[in-house]
């Protein structure tokens, strides 16, 4: 079975992986990958995935013993009863760009742009969840370089060393309703947290392949990426004379988690490809992000100002599928994926099941166009933090991904 007969189906499988990864556990949306390095020649690839989660929180109530206002105290719904349900999630998109080039017959590298981490939720001002967080947004940019060097280990097989390095930028933004009962006193108001940092991460792995049978197995370790997030919290502390917000400088040390991923694919019949992957991500390393005072007048450095409580558990993502080449121009693939939720009750990130379909159109030897879609459900569960409690049912999630590649 020639690799040419199933290569197009493998490309669709990779695209479906992008649609799935964009809704993975924790706050992962994308990751650096080595798939393009297994192709011959110079190529530029660009694409984007749009994810549409429909997470609805219900039965939101104050925890027993927690004193909260009986009516909404702030904002356009002031004086109205608290809403007990809200649509939490927002639609988002994840772009990617790769440029691959061969340095020798056996050494190839690819410059890649990804946006690996992200969160975007907004519960508004009219639910008790606003005392925990109103709007939360994490955004990131990853500028990476990946390389592969292969050795012949037989007449038809190769062993590859895979490695790469990235510079990542991470930004965090959160708004929160502040009651008069906090240590900073004052009236009901909305405080804003705004922090950012840049850091470096790396990855290392190996692969074994038999191109004649489209067989490939790879194992890649991705390091954690340590950040020292610096920024401000505005409108938490008030000037006692003017009543205006005084920005507080804050800092926090946090690390994006390490991960290990195993991928496998093989031809199983003429024009047919089977593939699968297993990925472990060390999300339990992120329990609580505590922001402390940093260089504020009258407030000692290290004094806790606020925290983001996540209490994640480890994430596991298991995916499998088949691809088929219909003719010289068209191929397709189908996948099923299970992603174990990282939530332990403090977030709504429960188990996800996704079913994907994709198609690849190759009008000539230069251009590839791939379209993939996925639909599934977000698992039900309960939500409880230090202030409020709630629950949610099985909710729908869908994704669309479009990628184009040009070879030179």
- pLDDT (0 to 100) of residue 364: 92
Q: What is the pLDDT of residues 325-346, one digit of tens each?
A: 999 899 999 999 999 999 998 9
In angstroms, the CA 89 to CA 95 distance is 19
Residue pair 284/292 in contact by the 8 Å Cβ criterion: no
Mean pLDDT across 217-246 = 94
Taking CA atoms, 291 is separated from 185, 253, 264, 301, 406, in Å, by: 19, 8, 41, 11, 45
pLDDT band at 144 (very low <50, low <70, confident <90, very high): very high
In angstroms, the CA 407 to CA 42 distance is 6
What CATH number should be reported for the domain holding residue 48?
Answer: 2.40.160.60
In this model, does residue 348 exceed pLDDT 60? yes
Alpha helices, DSSP H, located in 165-284: none
Q: State how many domains the chain has.
A: 1
Give which of 325, 359, 318, 355 is closest to 339, Cα–Cα.
318
* Percent with pLDDT over 90 in the chain: 77
Please state the pTM of the whole predicted model.
0.92
Cβ-in-10-Å burial (0-12, 13-18, 19+) of 138 comes to middle
Residue pair 121/113 in contact by the 8 Å Cβ criterion: no
Residue pair 114/30 in contact by the 8 Å Cβ criterion: yes
Q: Residue by residue, what is the 3-state secondary structure of 60-121? A: EEECCCCCCCCECCCCCCCCCECCCCEECECCEEEEEEEEEEECCCCEEEEEEEECCECEEE
Beta-ladder partners of 98: 45, 112
Cβ-in-10-Å burial (0-12, 13-18, 19+) of 239 comes to exposed
In this model, does residue 178 exceed pLDDT 90? yes
Beta-ladder partners of 148: 108, 162
Residue pair 265/275 in contact by the 8 Å Cβ criterion: yes
Mean pLDDT across 26-41 = 88
Residue pair 255/289 in contact by the 8 Å Cβ criterion: no
In angstroms, the CA 108 to CA 214 distance is 19
Q: Please give the residue that has the higher pLDDT: either 18 or 235.
A: 235
In this model, does residue 359 exceed pLDDT 80? yes
pLDDT band at 294 (very low <50, low <70, confident <90, very high): very high
- pLDDT (0 to 100) of residue 186: 87
Q: What is the pLDDT of residues 64-78, one digit of tens each?
A: 888 889 999 999 999
Task: Classify 21 as helix, strand or coil.
Answer: helix
In angstroms, the CA 177 to CA 235 distance is 10
pLDDT band at 1 (very low <50, low <70, confident <90, very high): very low
- pLDDT (0 to 100) of residue 31: 83
In this model, does residue 244 exceed pLDDT 60? yes
Q: Domain range spanning residue 328?
A: 3-407
Give which of 98, 96, 94 is closest to 44, Cα–Cα.
98
In angstroms, the CA 140 to CA 195 distance is 12
Q: Which of 16-25, 330-339, 360-369, 386-395 has the lowest mean pLDDT?
A: 16-25
User: Which residue has tokens 């440029």?
Assistant: 99
pLDDT band at 56 (very low <50, low <70, confident <90, very high): very high
Q: What is the pLDDT of residues 370-395, one digit of tens each?
A: 999 999 999 999 998 888 999 999 99
First to last CA, the chain: 26
């Amino acid at each position: 079975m020639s690799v040419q007969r199933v290569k197009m189906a493998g490309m669709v499988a990779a695209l479906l992986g992008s649609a799935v990864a964009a809704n993975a556990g924790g706050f992962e949306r994308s990751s650096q990958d080595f798939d393009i390095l297994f192709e011959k020649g110079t190529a530029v690839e660009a694409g984007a995935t749009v994810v549409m989660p429909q997470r609805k929180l219900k039965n939101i109530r104050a925890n027993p013993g927690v004193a909260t206002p009986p009516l909404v105290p702030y904002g356009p719904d002031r004086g109205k009863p608290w809403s007990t349900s809200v649509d939490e999630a927002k639609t988002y998109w994840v772009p990617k760009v790769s440029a691959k080039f061969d340095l020798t017959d056996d050494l190839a590298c690819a410059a890649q742009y990804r946006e690996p981490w992200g969160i975007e939720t907004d519960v508004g001002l009219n639910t008790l969840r606003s005392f925990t967080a109103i709007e939360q947004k994490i955004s990131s940019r990853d500028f990476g370089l990946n390389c592969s060097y292969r050795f012949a280990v037989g007449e038809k097989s190769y062993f590859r060393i895979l490695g790469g390095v990235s510079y990542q930028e991470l930004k965090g933004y959160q708004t929160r309703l502040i009651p008069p009962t906090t240590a900073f006193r004052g009236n009901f108001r909305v405080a804003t947290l705004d922090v950012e940092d840049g850091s470096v991460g790396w990855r290392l792995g190996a692969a074994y392949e038999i191109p004649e049978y489209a067989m490939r197995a790879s194992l890649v370790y991705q390091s954690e990426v340590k950040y020292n997030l610096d920024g401000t919290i505005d409108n938490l502390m008030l000037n006692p004379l003017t009543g205006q917000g005084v920005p507080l400088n804050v800092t926090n040390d946090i690390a994006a988690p390490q991960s290990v991923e195993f991928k496998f694919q093989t031809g199983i019949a003429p024009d047919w490809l089977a593939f699968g992957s297993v990925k472990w991500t060390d999300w339990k390393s992120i329990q609580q992000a505590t922001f402390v005072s940093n260089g504020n007048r009258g407030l000692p450095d290290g004094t806790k100002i606020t925290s983001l409580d996540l209490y994640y558990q480890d994430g596991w993502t298991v995916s499998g599928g088949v691809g088929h080449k219909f003719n010289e121009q068209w191929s397709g693939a189908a996948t099923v994926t299970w992603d174990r939720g990282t939530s332990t009750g403090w977030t709504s990130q429960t188990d996800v099941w996704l079913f994907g379909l994709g198609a690849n159109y190759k009008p000539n030897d230069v251009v590839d166009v791939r379209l993939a879609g996925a639909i599934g459900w977000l698992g039900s569960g309960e939500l409880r933090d230090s202030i409020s409690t709630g629950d949610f049912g099985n909710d729908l999630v869908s994704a669309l991904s479009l990628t184009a590649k040009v070879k030179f």
